[in-house]
Structure 1
Amino acid sequence: MIILPIANENIHLIPDTTNLDIIGNVEISYLDSTFRYAVNYFSNAQASSFPTSKPKSIFELNENRFGYVYLDDRNYVGHSIVENRFNNTLYIEDFAIHSDYRGKGYAHKLMDFIISNSKYNGISLEVQNTNVVAFLFYMKYGFCIGGFDTLFYENTVQKGDIAIYLYYSI
């Protein structure tokens, strides 16, 4: 297993879409200056997919927007696209692990790599309330809820979903 910077020789390995099962949704509340959440599980999972933030070419990456690809031999395991933000934090634009490798610790290893190679004070990201598996991974990893937006997906096919903003201090 190896994690490499995205480059011309490996950019083609990143898929255009990521598949996931929608197993429920996360309800967020804010009361007495505290965020709380509850997970509502569906009786049947719903297969879904979403486009990755795969760069169309290596030229879309630079010192402020870069990424990593996680490989097993020459097979794609996962990737992350990150962006340096003005407040000395790293924003995770895209973080995905191939379905064949999920639940085996690879997401944790990729996040460890991002953090250990970061020169920033923190990490932020947005996760959909219907992406329960990702949300629970981030919470278990140590991210905290910083806010949510009920209108973020209003003009998309995900209308009604909620954007949850998560933060991690380094």
Structure 2
Amino acid sequence: MITKMTQLNMKDFNKPNESFIVSGRIIPTFENNVWQYTEELFSEPYFKKYEDDDIESSYIEEEGKAVFFYYVENSCIGRIKIRSNWNGYALIEDITVAKDYRKNGIGYALLNKAIEWAKDNNFGGLMLETQNINVSACHFYAKNHFVIGAVDTMLYSNISTANEIAIFWYYKF
């Protein structure tokens, strides 16, 4: 069941935020005005977990912002955080699915909810950013008809522990 975040379920926001395995990286290339990519596998995979986010009540109260939770029984196992962006796209700020439920269609269901929300709010498409070391996320977006629109090699350059680049993905309606 997918439910919009309210004051009552706001406490569930960080529940599905769990680690993922970093097994390699995406290597984007830009040729003839088209982004493509290859993959490099790491000899020693490792786990990464993003820090928990603080969530503002503005995602409940304001138009142009929303969080949707995916529940199995009474347990929150997925979420998508989305808002309007200046360029006419809806920006997916975060999408996460609990480890034990990945690759079961939950991310796809949340993405479809974001598409529905974006269309209902008259956006021209969806956009998001992920890191090139989050290979499974990159595969997920490519499989769901997102295309690379840009790469930023400097976004994480001031974080000494980050050995990654930002990839911006777009899905135009």
Between 1:139-148 and 1:31-40, the stretch displaced more is 31-40
The 1-side partners of 2:42 and 2:10 are apart by: 35
The 2-side partners of 1:141 and 1:60 are apart by: 25
The 1-side partners of 2:57 and 2:138 are apart by: 29
Q: Give the match's secondary structure for 1:50.
A: coil
Q: CA deviation at 1:86?
A: 2.3
The answer to whether the aligner puts 1:121 opposite 2:124 as a matched pair is yes
Please show how residues 148-163 of structure 1 align to structure 2 within 5 Å: 148-163=151-166
Between 1:145-154 and 1:34-43, the stretch displaced more is 34-43
Q: Give deviations 1:94-129, integer Å, cap 9, x for gaps.
A: 110111110111111111121123231100000100
The 1-side partners of 2:52 and 2:81 are apart by: 9
For 1:167, the equivalent position in structure 2 comes to: 170
The 2-side partners of 1:162 and 1:96 are apart by: 19
Please show how residues 40-51 of structure 1 align to structure 2 within 5 Å: 40-51=40-51
Structure 2 length-normalised TM: 0.89
Q: Which runs of 5+ in 1 are unaligned?
A: none
Across the aligned residues of Structure 1 and Structure 2, the Cα RMSD in angstroms comes to 1.7
The answer to whether the aligner puts 1:23 opposite 2:23 as a matched pair is yes
Compare the two structures and name the one with the higher strand fraction.
1
Moved segments of 4+, more than 3 Å? 157-160
- Using the aligned pairs only, state the percent identity: 26
Between 1:29-38 and 1:128-137, the stretch displaced more is 29-38
Q: Structure 2 vs 1, CA of residues 158 and 92 (structure 1 numbering), >3 Å: closer, same or farther?
A: farther
Q: CA deviation at 1:76?
A: 1.2
Size of the aligned set, in residue pairs, is: 168
1:150–1:160 Cα contact (<8 Å) kept: no
Structure 1 length-normalised TM: 0.91
2:58–2:65 Cα contact (<8 Å) kept: no
The 2-side partners of 1:7 and 1:48 are apart by: 29
Q: Which runs of 5+ in 2 are unaligned?
A: none
Q: CA deviation at 1:157?
A: 4.0
Q: Read off the aligned partner of 1:109 and give its amino acid letter.
A: A
Between 1:121-130 and 1:149-158, the stretch displaced more is 149-158
Q: Structure 2 vs 1, CA of residues 96 and 64 (structure 1 numbering), >3 Å: closer, same or farther?
A: same
For 1:138, the equivalent position in structure 2 comes to: 141
The 2-side partners of 1:59 and 1:122 are apart by: 22
For 2:82, the equivalent position in structure 1 comes to: 82
The 1-side partners of 2:24 and 2:52 are apart by: 21
